[in-house]
Amino acid sequence: MKKRTALLATVAALAMGSAMGSVGVSGALADDTTIAPPPVESTAPAQDNTQPTAPTADAPATGSIDAVTAEAPATPPPSEAVIPAQRANEVRSETLIGATVFSPDGEKVGTVKDILFDTSGKATGLVLSVGGIMGLGAKSVGLTWEEVDVQPDPKLLQVKYTEDQLEAAPAFKTQEAQQAEADAARMDQQQQLQPQPAAPMTVEPGPAPAATE
């Protein structure tokens, strides 16, 4: 009986030792085993097979701007055709328009309203605004250039006539005013030539019949 018990104890001890050894081996294997990271796939950069676009006729290639020939400078008019500055004996129209005109006695007779030129550009006369009150009711009078003493200073415009003499002169008419008058006269003439409608005939009543007894 004692031998049997000792045999069973020995078997149990061996079984426990075997189990302990298996656990130790497994732990050792677990400690020695390392998980390797997944391999990283190396991707090479894609090769750009796009061909460069050739420059078109509308879009010049880079650097062609420097090759463009600069435009030649414009040629100015000849020196004898250009007036670079006003001369001492010249008067600008801007200073004449609205300038006061005086009589020989220093009396104000009007103001310059307009300047007349011929087709060659020569000044032929001045149109004066004479009379009126504050410009209202004024009369336009034209004088030849020789009748006006024009000095470079616009305050020295002078004529040899008084205001009364200028007001007695005929009024100046522009081409537009003359054309308007001619058109009005032609229309009046046409209306006069048109046949006038006949006047309606009126019948006078006859004498009343005599009364009978």
pLDDT in tens, 169-210: 999 999 999 999 999 999 988 888 887 776 676 767 766 666
**Which residue range forms the structural domain that includes residue 165?**
93-173
CATH of the domain at 169: 2.30.30.240
Mean per-residue pLDDT for 123-143? 90
Whether residue 160 lies inside any domain: the answer is: yes
Please give the Cα distance from 161 to 132 (Å, whole number).
17
Whether residue 193 lies inside any domain: the answer is: no
Whether residue 131 lies inside any domain: the answer is: yes
Please give the Cα distance from 95 to 178 (Å, whole number).
28
What is the 8-class DSSP label of residue 130? E
Whether residue 159 lies inside any domain: the answer is: yes
User: Each residue of 51-98: pLDDT tens digit?
Assistant: 555 555 555 555 555 555 788 899 999 999 999 998 888 888 898 999
pTM summary value: 0.54
Whether residue 132 lies inside any domain: the answer is: yes
Number of domains present in the structure of the chain: 1
132, pLDDT greater than 80: yes
